[in-house]
């Protein structure tokens, strides 16, 4: 009860301070100052390096997801047979984590995301930060190209 007596007034008093501030509307002067993106076709070497990066990302994500599901299913099967014990808990935790990492990787390195990144590169954008995860696994020439666009 004492905890509630302290928490409730603190939460009620902090409400107005957590309100979001409204940003001023964009005017013609702020929109005019931003340069328009310029389309520049990518060299074939850059396009191939990015495609190779995303292909490897999809491949390693599938490997992580399948191996995670195998470990997770073995933990679940042993738990169903023998009951919950400390030997099966790491299998379930690590297998679930690897399966989740594989699913997240599949979403990050999807073909749709690959097309979006290639289109953004043509307009002068940089590669997303997650693209550096699998860059060390690329051949040296492709790796240098990818690092230049990060």
How much is the pTM? 0.69
- pLDDT for 89: 87
Average pLDDT value for residue range 134-141: 90
Taking CA atoms, 104 is separated from 30, 51, 64, 149, 150, in Å, by 37, 18, 10, 23, 21
pLDDT tens digits, residue range 1-34?
A: 565 565 556 555 655 555 556 666 666 565 567 6
pLDDT of residue 85: 81
Q: Which of 36-40, 54-58, 83-87 has the highest mean pLDDT?
A: 54-58
What is the distance between the alpha carbons of residues 10 and 26, in angstroms, rounded to a whole number?
36
């Amino acid at each position: 009860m004492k905890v509630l007596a302290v928490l409730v007034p603190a939460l009620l008093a902090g409400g107005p301070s957590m309100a979001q501030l409204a940003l001023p509307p964009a005017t013609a002067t702020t929109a005019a100052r931003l340069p328009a993106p310029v389309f520049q076709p990518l060299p074939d070497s850059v396009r191939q390096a990015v495609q190779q990066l995303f292909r490897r990302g999809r491949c390693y994500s599938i490997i992580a997801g399948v191996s995670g599901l195998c470990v997770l299913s073995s933990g679940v099967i042993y738990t169903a047979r023998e009951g919950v014990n400390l030997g099966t808990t790491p299998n379930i935790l690590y297998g679930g984590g690897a399966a989740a990492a594989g699913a997240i990787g599949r979403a990050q390195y999807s073909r749709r995301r690959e097309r979006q990144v290639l289109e953004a590169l043509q307009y002068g954008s940089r590669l997303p930060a997650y693209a550096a995860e699998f860059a060390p696994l690329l051949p040296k020439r492709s790796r240098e190209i990818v690092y230049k666009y990060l």
